[in-house]
């Protein structure tokens, strides 16, 4: 029960379909996946984690992030919106939220510049979404505890 909430790795190997699929996705494909509209690939906790890991991965050769400060505003907006949609997913886990916090730290300069240039508030919106997602996970854990008590008695 708690491994689902905490986002425990279920023993799947890296050659799994979801890992291969996410590695080939662009931002639009990732959003389609998060919205559970990709045929034959259902959304799962590991898939959410892989999407965030792809966003925060820094290429060792070029030291480039998936989204850079000089990228087009549309790419930045798609990336930030993807994170917001991910935080509202019912499959979110604490591991995903920790990765999103890492995303916020890594991309703080880009988010602040984008917010300033385009009069947006993505930094605040993502932070608020993290708080709501944490509350959702807490509620889910409490409900699961109550169900276990009912079932075991």
Q: How far apart are CA 40 and CA 138, in angstroms?
A: 30
Q: What is the pLDDT of residues 63-120, one digit of tens each?
A: 898 999 999 999 999 999 999 999 999 999 999 999 999 999 999 999 999 999 999 9
Task: Name the pLDDT band for 4 (thresholds 50, 70, 90).
Answer: low
Task: Delimit the domains of the chain by residue range.
Answer: 2-152
Answer with the residue of higher pLDDT: 71 or 9: 71
DSSP character at residue 91: T
Identify the pLDDT of residue 40.
86
Angle at 47 between CA 146 and CA 66, to 5 degrees: 130
Tell how far CA 43 is from the center of its chain.
Answer: 12
What pTM value is reported for the model?
Answer: 0.84
């Amino acid at each position: 029960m708690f491994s689902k909430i905490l986002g425990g790795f279920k023993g799947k190997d890296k050659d799994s379909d979801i890992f291969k699929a996410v590695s080939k996705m662009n931002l639009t494909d990732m959003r389609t996946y998060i919205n559970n509209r990709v045929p034959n690939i259902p959304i799962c906790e590991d898939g959410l984690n892989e999407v965030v890991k792809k966003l925060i991965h820094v290429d060792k050769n070029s030291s480039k992030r998936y989204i850079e400060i000089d990228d087009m505003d549309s790419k930045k907006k798609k990336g930030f919106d993807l994170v917001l949609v991910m935080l509202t997913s019912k499959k979110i886990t604490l591991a995903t939220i920790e990765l999103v916090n890492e995303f916020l730290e890594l991309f703080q300069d880009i988010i602040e510049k984008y917010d300033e240039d385009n009069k947006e508030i993505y930094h605040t919106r993502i932070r608020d979404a993290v708080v709501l997602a944490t509350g959702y996970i807490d509620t889910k854990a409490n409900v699961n505890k109550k169900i276990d008590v009912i079932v075991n008695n």
